[in-house]
Amino acid sequence: MGSVYARTFGPGEPLYAGPMTATPPRDVTPTEGQRMVQEGALLVDVREPAEYAEIHAEGALLVPLSEFEARYSELPKDRDLVMICRSGARSARAGQYLLEHGYKDVVNLAGGTLAWAEAGLPVGGGNP
């Protein structure tokens, strides 16, 4: 039986609590993530709207972690998903949640939006 984790995204509210059996999503570099998006993957940003407005990877779809349990089913199961947040921790949690719920092609962008911007990849919003 897998370990039990309670992942929080807000004041005392769990993203998911229960047996975690899925392996966490594989980490990819910003360059690899961008290549995957260019080849048809969907880039999913799980940060909150204010963070997204400040700066985001160009083309990223915003599905805030605070709404993730209610909205994850909006994400296609037949398309590669590249998960991103600020630094990679929240997106890894969201990616594992997707894997727990039947998604197969999910990766985590290591270093998140910070690494994406540092790599000089296209961004929208304000300044980093």
Instruction: Give me the pLDDT at residue 7, please.
Output: 43
Q: Which entry of 65, 85, 109, 117 is annotated as an active-site residue?
A: 85
Q: Which of 16, 24, 14 is nearest to 89 (CA)?
A: 24
Write the pLDDT tens digit of every residue in 32-55: 999 999 999 999 999 999 999 999
Write the pLDDT tens digit of every residue in 53-97: 999 999 999 999 999 999 999 999 999 999 999 999 999 999 999
Classify 104 as helix, strand or coil: coil
Q: Phi and psi of 105, rounded to 5°?
A: -105, 75
Instruction: Give me the pLDDT at residue 23, please.
Output: 86
* Domains and their CATH numbers in the chain: 23-125 (3.40.250.10)
**Is 10 among the catalytic positions?**
no
In this structure, what token pair is assigned to residue 8? 């929080």
Q: DSSP letter at 24? A: P
Whole-prediction pTM: 0.85
